[in-house]
Amino acid sequence: MKRDHHTTHLATTLWGRKTAAVAVVTALAAAGAAWSIPMHHESITLLSGEVRTFVSRAPTRVQWEGREKNNVILVVIDGARVQEVFDGVDPVIASQRAFADLESFTSGALLMPELHAWLRDEGTALGAPTDPHGVFASGPNFVSLPGYLEILTGHAQSDCQDNECGAVREKTILDEARERAGARDAVAAFASWPILGRAVAKSPDAMVVSAGIDSLYGWAELKKTPALLRLWETGRPKDSYPGLDGYRTDVLTARLALAYIEARAPRLTFIALGDTDEYAHKGDYRGYIKALRQTDLILGELRNTLKRSGEWGRRTTVLVTADHGRANDFRNHGGAYPESARSFVIALGGQARQEGIITTSAPHRLADIAPTVRHILRLPARDLNPKPGSMLAEAIVTGDGKSMALHDRLDR
């Protein structure tokens, strides 16, 4: 019954005034203006407004101008399909379920306007449906933990093929970045899914990791900015909906992550959002679409945060990907559904090339993301087995620093 109540509540909040909202959206999109569904936006703006007031007083903010190095924010949208991210709502699924209100989201730019505006202005996307090569999880079982570990280490894990692998047994890019960075707060991870608390790093206690409702490493770091600790404490709902067992819904994960980024200007931040996968497993296409819309607003807030962050923001590259795709029925994924191997990589700002949606020269893998992060952060390359990935030169400027990026952009 609890679940039913939530479903009703969410539906009312997010889609209750759908007709009016879609009309506004269509009109603004036609005018080429930035737009949002007002009642949808409210929840996130409200939260980040509160955060902004806190962090504008935080003394750590001056670090931005002093940290003239490249930074990375890696965002994973759990089980987001390329179909919706690039092409919008699946018309077949929407019509099967009589979701007439969703049918107006006929493109990726209409469904996820913030992401696509950012991509158009400052980014490159690999693996769109129009790309004959694509970006893939190595599998063979296309589920979350193997996908995350492939992303975070730079090679497929032969000994991890399900979500029961336990703690990660080798260093991840978070460990590597932490070893290079002097400060404990320079590397941070925020995840909705609690399992990631033991998977994002071999030494999570050397950094700041908040995964799900309960798992927190780096309490002492958060405590140095009391507003951050307060956000963590107040972001611990009694109910794990839409997930299970300690899952923290994305808006609370993102609220903490954005506040942390603004307060601490980290070198490497990992953000793992999961509502998309949770709703999809319930067969709730509307919830899945709503979660993608919310993710889009989070990315918009992230872009605004970077814009406010001076040189640090300009030197920050955002990489957006998915740990796996979904079956053609959208609900499932895994080894039985080869099509669920398909993912994507979108590079934004910082060292990202400005090519928009491109056709890649060869297939790419999730394993290519870690070498890309190492390149941007100038971490040493690693010799990994099996099948290490290679740096995504089609998405990232390979030269040295910002002047090269600028030169490269002027060159075209």
- Please report how close the Cβ of residue 270 comes to Zn ion at its closest, in angstroms: 18
Residue 175 or 277 with smaller CB distance to Zn ion = 277
d(CA 83, CA 176): 34
d(CA 81, CA 99): 19
Residue 220 or 336 with smaller CB distance to Zn ion = 336
Residues between 60 and 79 with contacts to Zn ion, criterion CB under 5 A: 79
- Please report how close the Cβ of residue 288 comes to Zn ion at its closest, in angstroms: 11
Residue 123 or 212 with smaller CB distance to Zn ion = 212
Residue 79 or 313 with smaller CB distance to Zn ion = 79
Q: Which region, judged by CB under 5 A, interacts with Zn ion, from 28-36, 49-57, 272-280, 386-394?
A: 272-280
Residue 277 or 301 with smaller CB distance to Zn ion = 277
# residues near Zn ion by CB under 5 A: 2
Q: What is the CA radius of gyration of the chain?
A: 20
- Is beta strand 187-191 parallel, antiparallel or unpaired with respect to 208-211? parallel
Residue 148 or 312 with smaller CB distance to Zn ion = 148
- Please report how close the Cβ of residue 163 comes to Zn ion at its closest, in angstroms: 8
Question: φ and ψ at 396, to 5 degrees?
Answer: -125, 140
- Please report how close the Cβ of residue 258 comes to Zn ion at its closest, in angstroms: 25
Residue 18 or 342 with smaller CB distance to Zn ion = 342
Q: Which region, judged by CB under 5 A, interacts with Zn ion, from 29-37, 191-199, 214-222, 271-279?
A: 271-279
Residue 79 or 123 with smaller CB distance to Zn ion = 79
- Please report how close the Cβ of residue 152 comes to Zn ion at its closest, in angstroms: 17
Contact pattern for Zn ion over residues 300 through 329, marking x by CB under 5 A = ------------------------------
SS3 string, 25-66, reads HHHHHHCCCCCCCHHHHHHHHHHHHHHHHHHCCCHHHHHHHH
- Please report how close the Cβ of residue 172 comes to Zn ion at its closest, in angstroms: 21
Contact pattern for Zn ion over residues 327 through 346, marking x by CB under 5 A = --------------------
- Please report how close the Cβ of residue 323 comes to Zn ion at its closest, in angstroms: 9
Q: Which of 277, 296, 323, 368 binds Zn ion (CB under 5 A)?
A: 277
> What are the residues binding Zn ion (CB under 5 A)?
79, 277
